[in-house]
């Protein structure tokens, strides 16, 4: 099995390293990731300039482009037939309307357009700026990814996974919950700076959440899983 890894936090990011540690148990891993962080870039593609495509290690490359570019270049420029594409693990959750702006999610979506099953993986952080123990993410992914990969996904479909920020002792009992995207937008809160510019100041953990939808599931301590079918795109309910 050949697995393509990418992300939107950039090549060498610890979440991508955690994902590689998990993925190599399932097959041969290849990495094409952005040269620099590309969070919030959504499904942007690069058409008007050349992109640097640089080999960093064996089967590992950087691209001077977006996460969606990374998948497109890997699919067309590497002589590899990929069985899966894993995108992540993102630093911070991608829940509800986040999926519209996430580069992590866009990479999985781009893979599905090529007919390759894909999974976007994100790690919720209760305290975003503090160091995070990625071994928790690894334990949860190692436990549940085989279950997910054993399923036969419809053509042009992808899966969005959000891991909760839980205590290490809870990783053994955490549940894998299939759910739907929360329809509520993030809080639209801004602070006006002395120079007149606006700085976003919404608190992610204070976002509204609908019972039993992905934000509620993840914030409540379980793994939120949403399935997306490009041929029938109805993720919000």
pLDDT tens, position by position, 149-162: 998 888 889 999 99
Greater model confidence, 24 or 232: 24
CATH number of 2-229, picked from 3.40.309.10, 3.40.50.2000, 3.40.1210.10, 3.40.190.10: 3.40.1210.10
- Region 114-135: what's the mean pLDDT? 92
**171: Cβ contacts below 8 Å, ≥ 6 apart:** 136, 139, 140, 143
> What mean pLDDT, rounded, does the chain reach?
94
Give residue-wise pLDDT tens across range 88-115: 999 999 999 999 999 999 999 999 999 9
- Region 186-203: what's the mean pLDDT? 92
pLDDT level of residue 234 (50, 70, 90 thresholds):
low
pLDDT at 236 over 50: no
DSSP category for residue 130: S
pLDDT at 34 over 70: yes
Q: What angle is formed at CA 133 by the lines to CA 35 and CA 119, rounded to 5 degrees? A: 55
Task: Kindly calculate the radius of gyration of the chain based on its CA atoms and give it in whole angstroms.
Answer: 17
- Region 162-170: what's the mean pLDDT? 95
pLDDT level of residue 62 (50, 70, 90 thresholds):
very high
To the nearest whole percent, how much of the chain has pLDDT over 90? Answer: 85
- Region 47-62: what's the mean pLDDT? 97
Domain ranges of the chain: 2-229
Q: What's the confidence (pLDDT) of residue 129? A: 77
The 10 Å Cβ neighbour count of residue 115 is 11
Q: pTM of the prediction?
A: 0.94
**Distance separating alpha carbons of residues 34 and 218, to the nearest angstrom:** 27
């Amino acid at each position: 099995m050949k697995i393509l890894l990418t992300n939107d936090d950039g090549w060498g990011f610890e979440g991508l390293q955690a994902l590689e540690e998990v993925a190599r148990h399932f097959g041969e891993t290849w990495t094409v990731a952005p040269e620099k962080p590309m969070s919030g870039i959504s499904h942007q593609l690069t058409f008007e300039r050349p992109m640097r495509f640089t080999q960093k290690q064996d089967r590992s490359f950087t691209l001077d482009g977006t996460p969606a570019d990374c998948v497109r270049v890997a699919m067309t420029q590497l002589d590899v037939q990929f069985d899966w594409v894993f995108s992540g693990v993102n630093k911070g959750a991608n829940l509800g309307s986040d999926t519209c702006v996430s580069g992590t999610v866009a990479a999985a979506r781009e893979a599905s357009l090529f007919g390759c099953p894909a999974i976007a993986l994100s790690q919720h952080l209760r305290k975003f700026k503090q160091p995070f123990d990625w071994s928790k993410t690894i334990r949860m992914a190692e436990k549940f990814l085989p279950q997910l990969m054993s399923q036969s996904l419809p053509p042009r479909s992808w899966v969005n996974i959000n891991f909760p920020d839980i205590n290490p002792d809870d990783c053994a009992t955490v549940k894998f919950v299939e759910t739907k995207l929360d329809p509520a937008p993030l809080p639209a809160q801004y602070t006006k700076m002395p120079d007149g510019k606006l700085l976003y100041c919404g608190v992610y953990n204070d976002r509204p959440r609908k019972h039993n939808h992905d934000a509620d599931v993840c914030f409540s301590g379980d793994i939120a899983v949403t399935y997306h079918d490009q041929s029938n795109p109805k993720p919000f309910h």
